[in-house]
A and B are shown apart, each in its own frame.
Chain A
Amino acid sequence: MTSWRTKLLPPLLAIVFAVLLSAIALIISGADPLQAYGTMIGQMFKGSTAVDTVNLATVYYLSGLAVAIGFQMNLFNIGVEGQYRFAAVVAAIAGGAMKLPPVIHVIAILVVAVVAGMAYAAVPAILKVTRGVSEVISTIMLNAIVAGIIAFLINADQFGVQRGNNIGTRVIEPSGRIPGIPLGSGTLFGFVVIAALIGGAYWFMLNRTRFGFELKASGESTTAAAAGGVSAKKMTLIAMLLSGGVAGLVAMPELLGRDYSYGITATQMYGFTGIAVALLGRNHPGGIALGALLWAFLDTSAVSLEQINVSKEIATIMQGIIVLSVVVAYEVVRRADLAAEQRRVGRALAGGKGSSVAEGGAV
């Protein structure tokens, strides 16, 4: 039983704390925090910033979901970073090479992306299940290696095309693109709809299906789940593959909605942002959405700080403080809640009963 207080208070506290701490940093560096924050908020209403924020949040949202699936099984899929980049380059190459009718082309690219993400996640999954290798270390290695693989694949000797100073995959034909939704001065990714659907599917899977129950049970206690007929190894494997599959979609909004080609200079770090966003949203699809929006807001509006001569990295610092303080806040609240619950149960039972000792058992 968690009240709204348990759910919302920690992130709010974390944000307030981060704002205060960053304000101190701003004052020390000689800037006016109020002006800085004002500029950031004001930026939201300028040009296409709001739409850009939602677009970026879509990417973060997918990444957060991918990480959250791993978290449900107590898996730390730091490898979302590598999985999405691997999937992006594979899907971009495949998409550029394919000649298919409009809708089918898009679906084919998405399938390739999901399968590629899964394939890259399969390495740590198999290493963990068969050899007991910690997924944290193996995915970190794979995150680094992916840069080499991308460089290798995008190389003009393989699948790359040189365009000016930039080298990237072949451009995907219009039939393989997802049309955007014009909104104000910007264009909203059509993928927003797909991301929302995936979020819904995630919620449904977790809360309404047998598989979701088994995943959560195994994540909470492998021993209890095993006694209940759930194999931890199987769950580890499936969770990692699912996580990798969703990770495979992370780069798709930008690839199919804006860039149409995956270049050597494509943005990185979406995978790590996903970890932060999943933590912020407590693995809940709604919470992850809010976390993704907050993160994207900090990213897009920070650019405006340059106008008033404040380093935009203050936003990165705020993000770091928010993650760290939100996990601390969740932990503190969780403990307080459990103790309160035990007291409540104790009180409810003590009423009208003399021998409370007999109820207790060994401590």
Chain B
Amino acid sequence: MSTAEAPAEAVPDRGVPAVQLTGITKRFPGVVANSDVNLTVAAGEVHAICGENGAGKSTLMKILYGMQPPDEGTIAINGEEVKLRNPQDAIRAGIGMVHQHFMLADNLTVGENVFLGAEGLHGIGRAARARLAELAERTGLHAKPETLLEELGVADRQRVEIVKVLYRGAKIIILDEPTAVLVPQEVDALFATVREMKAGGYTFLFISHKLDEVRAIADTVTVIRRGTTVGTADPKTITSRQLAEMMVGSELPSPETRESTVTDRDVLRLSGLTLGAEGSDRNALDDVTFTVRAGEVLGIAGVEGNGQTELVETIMGMRKPSGGTIELVDAEGKARDLTKAGTLARREAGIGYIAEDRTRHSLLLTQPLWVNRILGYQTREPVSKGQLLDIAGARADTERIVRDYDVRTPGIDVPAAALSGGNQQKLIVGRELSGNPVLLVASHPTRGVDVGAQALIWEQIRQARAAGLAVLLISADLDELIGLSDTIRVMLRGRLVSEADPATVTPQELGSAMTGAGEGDEE
């Protein structure tokens, strides 16, 4: 497609742009996060910034919000060039940011969260509360100012964030992946608020990688890839496929038709798996039943927060199910009930595990790579012998992983924290595929990694699958799911609601199944 590389036609002139970024470059030790970014946002529009995970959207927004200074380039707000040294400068310039991970304090009240830092405007007394009530009305926030924040649900927390921004008089509002945590109805409510406010003269920067949402709300969309802006387009006319290709370059992985390696030998059998949720009557997992066979990749699709994390952690033995069974069948066909087994026993039985948050769940950041090789394998060859560690074995095997999985590192003695995300993940994949696993549980295996690492990780999973590995794949990246899976199951509110054939399904169809749009009876 030609639109992929060619910068699309310039935005029609609509007066002085609200935000103009010119030649923004930001380097971090060893990496360039943004290089020569140019962005023009007209006043009174919703301008979407699209890009893959790791494309540099967040860094760019942190620069615009004064949280990080750019190394090069200029920022102009309403036509005036400004220097944003800290968030206060940005606030003064009329910029507000609704962070993806809310910047709220659970133990403070709604009012305190809003007034904090802006006490100079109306104090923290009656005048402030009056102003808060007014803004709460506009954004649909119904909580009382003296309610503790922790008592609010996610959508209300987001409203508090928006109120906070408005309270400071921002006219240019950055929404950083605001829909990631919301369910569809809440997304609709948010979009209604955004439209209303746009009519009231506010300008929005809407960060997202969800194409359908961008098309639903944005007036203009700018795509960022590998740290730089690759083009601007009108979301009303561009197709999702064109937009997607701009985001990933020409390397959009098409669901390739390949030989099925699925066998009829069951490896993982889940039946009626149920997990209660703390403080809620509804289960986090509700009667989940499925089977993964040798040579099969079973993909689980779903909007984040619908029980995927709980499913993985229950399979790995980090959460105790309230009902149901988990069975693993080894290569000889002997079934073993793992429902009561601990995490280590499950790993020893042949489950490899790529966790969704690698820095929290897969790595010891300050330890050298070869020590990280031992984690999860401390009872097995080649890294341990009985109760003793086999350090020479661990080092040799780490060298092998570094070689075979192309982990870019000066050596195996550097701490894991020093590697980039992609290289950390390659190390983890190498480790988890090395114990001759019969099952690999892969949770977002390529989240936040560079394209090179992504391709390598996919290839490794395909090879292992061809060799008879069963894979349970959880991903928010629909292309990844469609490209890798042999079967796709959709998860919604803790239950498996539908099944799709990756050979025929489109991301759009999958997306509507994930949001429950197909289930009229659910209303």
Contacts of A221 in B (CB 8 A): 360, 363-365
Q: Which of A193-247 contact B (CB under 8 A)?
A: 207-214, 216-217, 220-221, 223-231
Contact A342 B360 (CB under 8 A): no
CB distance from A314 to the nearest CB of B (A): 37
Contact A344 B418 (CB under 8 A): yes
Given contacts A210-B387, A343-B29, A362-B448, contact A225 B375 (CB under 8 A): yes
Closest to B364 in A: A220
Closest to A214 in B: B378
The answer for the CA separation of A99 and B235 in the assembled complex, in Å, is: 92
Q: Which of A321-348 contact B (CB under 8 A)?
A: 338-339, 341-348
Q: Which of B423-450 contact A (CB under 8 A)?
A: 423, 448-450
Given contacts A208-B388, A361-B420, contact A227 B316 (CB under 8 A): yes
A183 at interface, CB cutoff 8 A: no
Mask of B25-38 contacts with A, CB within 8 angstroms, 1/0: 00011111101000
B88 at interface, CB cutoff 8 A: no
Closest to A353 in B: B408
Contact A356 B318 (CB under 8 A): no
Contacts of B375 in A (CB 8 A): 217, 224-225, 228
Contact A360 B31 (CB under 8 A): yes
Determine which residue in A221, A229, A339 has the highest number of CB atoms from chain B within 10 A of its CB, and name it: A229
Contact A346 B387 (CB under 8 A): no
Mask of A279-295 contacts with B, CB within 8 angstroms, 1/0: 00000000000000000
Mask of B366-387 contacts with A, CB within 8 angstroms, 1/0: 1110010011111100001011
Contact B362 A358 (CB under 8 A): no
Given contacts A228-B375, A350-B30, contact A361 B355 (CB under 8 A): no
Given contacts A1-B368, A359-B408, A361-B421, contact A213 B56 (CB under 8 A): no
Given contacts A227-B318, A341-B415, contact A220 B366 (CB under 8 A): yes
Contact A358 B389 (CB under 8 A): no
Given contacts A227-B316, A227-B355, A227-B376, contact A360 B363 (CB under 8 A): no
A357 at interface, CB cutoff 8 A: yes
CB distance from A254 to the nearest CB of B (A): 34
Segment from B148-156, B325-333, B339-347, B479-487 that makes contact with A: B339-347
Closest to A362 in B: B54
B462 at interface, CB cutoff 8 A: no
Q: Which of B54, B346, B362 lies in contact with A360, CB distance below 8 A?
A: B54
Contacts of A13 in B (CB 8 A): none
CB distance from B347 to the nearest CB of A (A): 5
Contact A348 B389 (CB under 8 A): no
B419 at interface, CB cutoff 8 A: yes
Q: Which of B60-86 contact A (CB under 8 A)?
A: none
Contact A345 B378 (CB under 8 A): no
Mask of B308-342 contacts with A, CB within 8 angstroms, 1/0: 00000000101000000000000000000000001
CB distance from B11 to the nearest CB of A (A): 25
Contact A345 B451 (CB under 8 A): no
Q: Show 27 A/B contacts (Cβ-Cβ < 8 Å), sorted by A.
A: A208-B389, A210-B379, A213-B378, A213-B389, A214-B378, A216-B364, A227-B318, A227-B361, A227-B362, A228-B375, A230-B378, A338-B417, A341-B415, A345-B30, A345-B414, A346-B30, A348-B409, A349-B408, A355-B226, A356-B31, A357-B33, A361-B448, A361-B449, A361-B450, A362-B421, A362-B448, A363-B28
The 6 closest A-B pairs by CB, nearest first: A346-B30, A229-B344, A360-B31, A228-B376, A361-B54, A361-B421
